[in-house]
Amino acid sequence: MKGAAFVIGATSFSNACLDLQHACAITPEQSYDTAAIRIAYARFHTEATALDTALEQHPA
């Protein structure tokens, strides 16, 4: 998703994808930071909705 978003210039969505990816990444000695994941997912969802709305306004 983030690669295609970069191609079409949807930088905010791409950044939200990367933030979510980083929030979900752990090393063997760490546990998940659920608060960070929730925050990153909320931003991802907001950006995905905005991108979907923008794409709907410009049919192929």
Residue 49's pLDDT is 93
Residue 3's pLDDT is 64
For the entire predicted model, the pTM comes to: 0.78
For the chain, 60 residues long, the average pLDDT of each consecutive 10-residue run is: 65 92 87 92 95 80
Number of structural domains, the chain? 1
Q: Which domain holds residue 13?
A: 2-56
Q: CA end-to-end span of the chain, whole Å?
A: 18
Residue 29's pLDDT is 83
Q: What is the C-alpha separation between 2 and 8, in angstroms, rounded?
A: 10
